[in-house]
Every structure is written in C-alpha cells, then in structure tokens.
A = this chain, B = another copy of it.
Amino acid sequence: MKLITKKVILITLLAMIIPIELQANDHPKLILTKAGVETIRQNLGQVPLFDSSVETAKQQVDIEMAMGIDTPIPTDYSGGYTHERHKKNFVIAQKAGALYQILQDDKYAEYVRDMLFQYEAMYKDLPVHPKPRSYARGKLFWQCLNDSNWLLYMAQAYDSIYNFLSEEERQKLNQNLFRPFADFISIGNPQFYNRIHNHSTWGNAAVGMIGLVMDDQELIDRALYGIEDDGLELGLKDNDGGFIKLEGQKTGFLANLENPFSPDGYYTEGPYYQRYAMYPFLIFALAMENVKPKAKVFDYKNGVLLKAVNALLNLSDAEGNFFPLNDAQKGMSYFSASLVTAVDIAYHYGDQNSQLLSIAEKQDQVLLDQAGLSVAMGIRDEKTQPFAKQSINLSDGMDGDEGGVAVLRYGDEDLAVVFKYAAQGLSHGHYDKLSFSLYDRGDEVIQDYGLVRFVNIGQKGGGNYLKENQTWAKQTIAHNTITQNQTSQFKGDYGIGSQHHSELHFFDASRDDVQVASARESNAYPGTELHRTMAIIKPENFAKPLVLDIVKVASKSTNQYDLPFYFMGQVLKTNFDYKAPSSLVQMGDSDGYQHLYLEGKGKPSVGSTQFNWLVEGKFYTLTAVTDAADELLFARLGAEDPEFNLRRDAALIFRRKAVGDTLFVSLIEPHGRYSPVSELSVNPNSNISALKVIFDSEAYTAIAIETLDNRSSVFIVSNKDAAASQKHQLKIDDKEYSWQGPYHLR
C-alpha cells in the first residue's frame, strides 16, 4: 500500500470516530450526516467503486433534470404512467439530494426544492387515488404503501437540502405537504398503518423519517409505537386475506421489528418480502442511530436487524436469487437496490465482515453515503473475502419457537435443499408445511412455483396478485409436500393456518459427508402427523452428493396421500409403464387440482421406482420406494387458466390411496452432464440399484441405498429422541447398529 493511501485512510478513520453532537438544525442528519459528507468529500476521486456510483447517479439525475419535472395528476395502477412517474420522482429526488451534498452543486438542491413545491402545490387539494382496488388507497398512488415509499425517500431528499431552504419554505412544505402526508398514511389509514405487516413497516418508517427531519416528536413517537386508539375492529382482513388487527398486539416500528423477525433474523413472510421490508427497517433504524443514538435501534432484539441481512443473503441460490418461499416473484436477487442498502449498512454499522464485500463487488454499486464509502474503500483496499454460504437453520417466530427454514448445502452450492417447516408467514404465506425445493448451483432442479403475479406489469391485472395466486400458488398441491385427500393443509384457511407452525425435530450440519434436517407437522391435517427428514449424503464413490427424503405419515384415519416433485427440464426415462391420455382433463375441482392436467398415469413395476431427467445440461435420477398399488402421475400445470397466467410446468406425483400410516422414501441423485455444443453425455444413468426400507418403527426408520457397484449405505433416523447425547442400539436383520445422536450413517 502506498504511503499516500495510508494517510488518507488514517484521516478517514479519524473523521469517522470523532463523536458528533447533533443539533436540531444540523442537516443532513438522517442517512448522510455532516461529518459523513465531510469524509466523503475528502475521498472523492480516490475510491473507484464509490466514484463510479456517484457518476452513475449523476448521469441518471442529470438526464431527469434535463427532461424537467413532471408531477401528473394520479390516475394509474402500477405499470401505468402516473404511477411509474411518481415512483421515479422520489428515487431521483433522493439521489439528487445526496449529489447536492457530495458535489455541493446548487442545481441539485434547486431541482429537489422545485419538485417538492410542485408536490406541495398539488397535495393540498388532492383527493384519494381514483383506482379502487386497495384496502388502503393512497393519494399519489393507488395504495398507501406506495405513498409511504414516496415519503421515506422524499424525507431523505428533504433532509439533504434542508439547510438550503429558507425557514419560510420549510414551514410551507411541513404544513402543506409533509405533515398532512404523514397524517394521511397513518391516522388517515390505521388499517394500513397500525398492524404487523411489511406495509406498516413502510408506513411507520416513512412517518418516522419525516418526523426526524421536521424534529416532530409526535410523528417520531407515532412511528415507533403506532397509534394507540385506532378504532379498528378485531379480525378485520386486508385484500390478501391477511389479518389487520389481532387482540393485544402492539403496533408501530418497534413492534414490527419485534414481531416478524425471529431471533435468527428470519422474516416470517419469506426472503422476497424481507428484501422489500429491509429498506425501511434499515433506513429508519440508521436515521434513528444518527439522530437519536440513545434509542439503540440497531441493538434492538440482540441486533436482529443486522442478523437479518445475513439471514437474507443465506436464503439465496448460487447466483444470488432468493429462494421463493411463500409469495415471491422469481428472479428477485441480492442485486436489488434494497440489498445494496442492506449490504452496505450491515458492513459499515456491523462488524465490517469482509465477506460482505464480495457481494458488494458483484452488485457493482454502493450507497452514496458513509456506508457506501466504507464498502468501496474496503474493496479498494483488497479486503474482500468470498461470501461463504453454508448449511443454515433459521428459526421462525418472534421468539424463534415457531418452526423455521433449513437450508442444507453441499460444496460450492453444488446442491442446496431448502426445507420449510415454518409458521404461516402472514398473509403472503403458502399452505406448504414440510415442503422443499432443490437447487444445483443457480439452477432449480425441483422447484417451488413462487407466486402468480407479474409485479408492475400492467397488462396482467394491473401488476397485482392474480386470482390463481390463491387458487393455485398458495395451495398445498402446488408444493413438494404431502396433500391429504386432495385438500390443502389447514383446509387452505388462513385463520387456521395462522394458529400453527411445524416443529423442528433436529438439524445437524456438523459433518461434511452428511447433513440432516428433520421436522414434524401435526396440525395441517388433524389426526395425521407428518414427519419429514431430509439429508444430503455424499458417499465416497459418488462424484456428487445425494438427497435422501423420508416422509413418515401417521394417521388415525385412512387417506389418500399425494407427494409431488415439481421437476424442471426434460423427462428422459422411467422404469415404470404409464399411459398417456389422448385428451387432457383436470385432476380435480378445487384446492389447486383444478389447475393440473393429467398427462400420464402408471404403476410401479419394481420396488425402486426410477425417474431420470435432464435440467440445464445436468442429469438427475429420482429413485423412490414404492408399493405395487401406488399411482405414478405425470401432471402438467395450465388447466382453468384462460388468461395464461400460469407456467406450463410439470410434476411427477406419487399417489398412495386408502392407507393410514405410511412412509414415502426417495433419493435424488445428480449424476452427470450434457453439452449441446460437444454433444457429449457424461454419466447419464443412475448409479443406484435399489432403495430399501430395511426397518421402520415409531422409534426408528432405516433406509438402505444400494449402488450398481454393489456398495450399500444405511441411514437410520431416530424418529422420537433427537438429543445429541442419546445413545442408540438397533438390530436389523441380525446386524447390530449402535450410535449416538439423532441419526446414523454407515
């Protein structure tokens, strides 16, 4: 490192640790601070990623400034012009404010000021938005949620140019625009503002942010603690079917921080909505940290906010796409702007985890503030370490006792099993207890469908949730888990689902050659207990690991059980016969079955049923223990879908009829590859000769995996006692097995 660089860093570090005494009118103070701006300006031109981020923002803002300010009368849903225009306005204004501070060029301040006054002029007479679809209509947008987005960003823009404005101008903006705006989305819409939901987080944070700029303690308190007497009825629901008010529930920002996050940082709605909610959580927490450090919002609940960033990054595949748990649009990834915020803040205000720098490098942009500078300096100074994702078990629920999500990973994400045994996940939850999905690096092998919505694509229902989200995506049969008697878990009833969660039996990722997650669900079907154990096993003689899946069902009644595998890619071969119908008819009338066509129906020909397929140039075989009476069904999505809202995806469904207790055991084996360029097939066939249940009781289930080269592995799971210290002994076919802990592999 050159001397000059060392000196600069020293100055920077000194500047960073000089304590700041904040005064009410020391602006900016929320995200950018006076001291932060000073440090940034001293480093301009010396930190490549920060400089390029400034340049990118400058280009964007300059183009918008050249086009002039437009604040049209609101008329559209998302995807329409007025919606997209107002959305762009707040994004650009926030950036223009930051550029004003960083570049000290008045034109940016003037641009923000002029835009704010255009809004000020229109807001006082603005009626509620004309589009009727939301349970909480905004004024600039069709829902208060988007109005809150606007306020959260505009508060930052306002803060950046606060000192540039005259006292008179500020008074005018406060009285005619910001205070009424904050009141409208809060006391004007308590059904939106005063609940536990990502919508409310945005509302709370927005009100809090403008309160901090205006130094308005009433708004700050309303943000932190909600509205005391909201006049809402208990049991009220929103348009997604989510509860608005539950008895005794606290509201406001802190309650929203307390409630949906588990102590591990898992957000109960899932990573897609966590990504969306992270922005207001982090931004307002940071503003509080800067303006009201004594509130220690970052330390709240053992520092859950920064833990949440780590949890979120771990809930992504090898290419950074979030696992689509619950309602989630596929393709959302840690490249989204809110994750730039999350990564930069977690690095700077957390413990400077140098692994975060590798994510920031991929994002190739940083925030225009102290955190962004800090990340860019870390990268410049070559501190970057690879972000090492490993197997992880994340509890769900406020106290971490409402089930969870486990991710079993092998190698450099060659395989990742996402196993869900969580709580309902609020109104965005799916009825899919004990479901899983499987990834091979960035590719989905066994998929979770995601949501039925084309977010912000106006041609599709205004970009909002489509009805097939309810009739298909949330239903149990849409997921890789058990559906009993063609009825969704909890009867697909949100009220019932919300009362329950699955229970972890055990999670063990301590060994390299085997990692296991095991969980139970007792309430999805009253009288039936489901217990699923999933393991990644790497036998020595296999190039890639195997995924063993054991679903143990105990029921007081006899039922039909369906277990689908939503495989991606191309069917290659089966070892069973099936008939393909000449016309396609629906597989049922309700609970999602009405959206499936039956494409093939067969019976097992041997005890180890095999299904071989190709995904993105990689071969896989599913081997399953089957009964002669099992039905093997090829299903195709797309029935009752007149608007073409659903993808034409496929599943292989294992159906077992008229049984009470039963056991589904299967093994997924990745075993080769194909290139359309070389046209070479490598290892295209399974190396498994048989999969056998060699023992099954209430206490233990033992599975033998036999390979073509005559090797055999035995996996035994203890179904009852999961204590790590417990010693077990079991005799199977005259062989003695003894081990300690909840499972055994040899």
Chain A residues in the interface with B (C-beta under 8 A): 79, 84, 329-333, 335-337, 454-460, 463, 570-573, 578-580, 582-586, 597, 599-600, 612, 614, 634, 636, 638-644, 647-648, 650, 674-681, 684-685
Contact B636 A676 (CB under 8 A): no
Contact A331 B676 (CB under 8 A): yes
CA distance A685 to B81 in the complex (A): 11
- Sample of 4 more A-B contacts, CB < 8 Å, known A332-B677, A582-B585: A84-B681, A329-B679, A456-B680, A582-B586
Question: How far apart are A685's CB and chain B's nearest CB, in angstroms?
Answer: 7
Q: Nearest 8 pairs between A and B by C-beta?
A: A331-B676, A571-B644, A580-B642, A584-B584, A459-B573, A459-B572, A583-B585, A648-B648
Question: How far apart are A429's CB and chain B's nearest CB, in angstroms?
Answer: 21
Given A580-B642, A642-B600, A648-B648, A681-B79 contact (CB < 8 Å): yes
CA distance A572 to B459 in the complex (A): 6
Beta-carbon nearest neighbor of A634 in chain B: B644
CA distance A515 to B84 in the complex (A): 35
Number of copies: 2
Contact B681 A572 (CB under 8 A): no
Q: Chain B contacts of A572 at CB under 8 A?
A: 454, 457, 459-460
The majority secondary structure among interface residues of chain A is loop
Contact A674 B571 (CB under 8 A): no
CA distance A218 to B676 in the complex (A): 38
Contact B571 A684 (CB under 8 A): no
Q: Chain B contacts of A333 at CB under 8 A?
A: 677
Contact B459 A678 (CB under 8 A): no
Given A459-B684, A642-B600, A678-B337, A583-B580 contact (CB < 8 Å): no
Question: How far apart are A640's CB and chain B's nearest CB, in angstroms?
Answer: 7
| A-B CB contact pairs (8 Å), 29 listed | A79-B681, A79-B684, A329-B676, A331-B675, A331-B676, A332-B676, A333-B677, A336-B678, A337-B678, A455-B676, A455-B679, A456-B674, A456-B680, A456-B681, A457-B572, A457-B674, A458-B684, A459-B572, A459-B684, A460-B573, A463-B681, A571-B643, A579-B642, A580-B641, A582-B585, A584-B584, A599-B644, A648-B648, A648-B650
Contact A612 B459 (CB under 8 A): yes
Beta-carbon nearest neighbor of A680 in chain B: B456
Q: Chain B contacts of A647 at CB under 8 A?
A: 570
Contact A684 B580 (CB under 8 A): no
CA distance A463 to B572 in the complex (A): 11
Q: Chain B contacts of A599 at CB under 8 A?
A: 638, 644
Question: How far apart are A316's CB and chain B's nearest CB, in angstroms?
Answer: 12
Q: Chain B contacts of A586 at CB under 8 A?
A: 582-583
Q: Chain B contacts of A644 at CB under 8 A?
A: 570-571, 599-600, 634
Q: Chain B contacts of A571 at CB under 8 A?
A: 643-644
